Structure formats: C-alpha cells, structure tokens
Structure 1
Amino acid sequence: MAMVDLAPFGFDDEQEQMWLRPLAEDRFEVCCIPFRVYGMALGDAVRLHGGRFVENVVASSGRLVFRVFFAEPRPPVTGGDSRDALREAISSGGFLAEWSGDRHVAVDIPEGADPSRLFSSVEQEVQNESAFWEWAHSEPFRNALAK
C-alpha cells in the first residue's frame, strides 16, 4: 500500500490509500480504482517516493476511471434516483466499480469498452444537477513532492 497526497487535486490535508502490487525494479501496479486521484487508473504502473507516497505514473494501463457523485438531498424515487440504474449498467456491462457509501462511485473502464450505458443511466440526474460525473484523466497526475 502507498498513499497519494490529494493537495494537488484540491483536497488539502487529505490522502488516498492505493493498493499496489510489486512489479520489476522500483515499479508497482495500481490494484484499486482511484476515487479522488486524477491521472491514475487501475493497472497503471507507478513509482514510489520514500516507499510510502506515489511519486509518478510511469506507464498507463490504457484504462480510464468514470466517477459519479450523487448530491444530497436525494430526489424522491419517483423523481428518478438513478443509483440502481447505474448499478445495473455496471453489472450488465461487466465493469468493475468501487462505491464509497451510496453516493460516490468509481468505475473502471477497460481500453476499448463502451461506457455509453453508464452515461445514460445517470444522464437525467446530471441534467437536474443531482449527480455529477467526471473522468479521472480530466487532469494529469501531480504530486506534492514536485512543488
């Protein structure tokens, strides 16, 4: 395991824990789906600083991370709470996903996979501003060590 300092991504004094698997030399493979880190995905190869913090991404796996955050208060079920539709789209599409509570999900998108059903499942809530989505690669990976 290693940590990523989230300050470069707007989360001062916070860190995200990454599960890693040793590779050759001083590289490690990311074995989890990042929730708040930008520019990193499942399967990427990273290098550590001091054995504890991710210093940089040295090789991309070609995977992407699609993240959705559902706002509070939740709309009434008749108003279209799309979390169940998103869970179904994740399951039927064979995607891997990790939830943080019931409002924040990170979905692994393998290279070449079609995520359109994921988008469709939350589209109405995004338009109503009761859900927000982003790609983890909308910003490059940065670390606080490079200041």
Structure 2
Amino acid sequence: MNQTANNLTKVCIDLPNHWWLKGESFWAKPLGGDLYELQNVPFCAYGLNFGDTVRAVSASPELKPEILEVVERSGNQTLRVSFAIEREQQAPCIEHLQALGAEVERANATFVALNVPPDVDIDALLDHLDEQEEQGVLHFETCEERVPGSFDDRPNDAEE
C-alpha cells in the first residue's frame, strides 16, 4: 500500500457510467481495520464527501483498497462547477464562493469541486451558483447519491 509522509494512502472506486472518468482515487487517512477518512473532495463520485469515513478493502496487497460503503458521514457536502469562461475570468466567482465558506479544489482550468462544511449556508452558495449559471458563467451540480448503493452516475440510458 502506498503511503506518504503524512500517513495518507490512496483508496479508489470504479465509475463505469461516469461522463468524465471511469474511476477515481482519493487520499485517505487510515483509521484501522478497513476504515479510512477521505482527505480530498471528490471530482467524479456521487454520495462521497471530504471527511467521510468509508470502508475500503483491497483484493490484493498491490492494489489500492476499493471503497465499499460510507460508514460515517462528515456533514460536508460536495458541489462541482464547470466554468464556461476562461480561468483568468473566474477569480471573482471563486472568491465569492470562498467568502461564502466553500473550499475550492481545482481539477483543471475549467472544472472545480467545492467542499461545503456543515456550518456553511449552502442555500446562499446555491443561490450564487444559480445566478452565475443564469448568466452563462458556469454550470454546476450537487453530488448526492445518483444510484442507490453506488458512487457512480446513472447509466447513459437511465431516465431521471
């Protein structure tokens, strides 16, 4: 198992139905047994959040442990934003989201994940994101579970 100086390790999930990536790995703090605390914001998975305690098991010592279930919710929520404007123009929106209490983790020039701690007014964040979406600045999604018992997106042929 790969560990860093901070005693973190990678855990993973397969996402065969996801629109962008077909799997995701997370930095996690080993808690003993098969339990881990997620230490980064998910960019693709649904139903997982920063700080959640998960159960993950490795099929063999050379493979990363795969997340099987959430054991305890952290209270954090995840939102994801895809900007329709250049990175240089995103600063005012990012700064406003941070002022409202969101923690921003960037994937690339146009895609960010937001961690929303439990003490933050998520309605104020959603209102701001709605306004920005109406202005054509961005698109966003909430990241609750999409398919019961899975961290994946719905299959392409699934109806809402």
TM-score by length of 1: 0.76
Indicate the RMSD between aligned Cα atoms, in angstroms: 2.6
Distance in 2, Cα, partners of 1:138 & 1:124: 24
Name structure 1 gaps, 5 residues minimum: none
**What's the counterpart of residue 139 of structure 1?**
146
Q: CA-to-partner distance for each residue in 1:32-77, whole Å, 9 max, x for gaps?
A: 0001100000010111132521111111111100111123xx38x9
Report % sequence identity: 24
Q: Rate the CA distance shift 1:26–1:138 in 2: closer, same or farther, 3 A.
A: closer
Aligned length: 136
The reply on whether 1:40 has 2:60 as its aligned counterpart is no
**CA contact under 8 A between 2:101 and 2:116: conserved in structure 1?**
no
Q: CA-to-partner distance for each residue in 1:86-136, whole Å, 9 max, x for gaps?
A: 211233234321011121111111113113453344434412555211111
Q: Rate the CA distance shift 1:124–1:94 in 2: closer, same or farther, 3 A.
A: closer
Which has the bigger relative contact order, CA under 8 A and spacing at least 6? 1
1:1-147 alignment runs, 5 A limit: 1-10=10-19, 14-50=22-58, 51-71=64-84, 74=85, 83-129=90-136, 131-139=138-146, 142=150
Identify the structure with the greater helix proportion.
1
TM-score by length of 2: 0.71
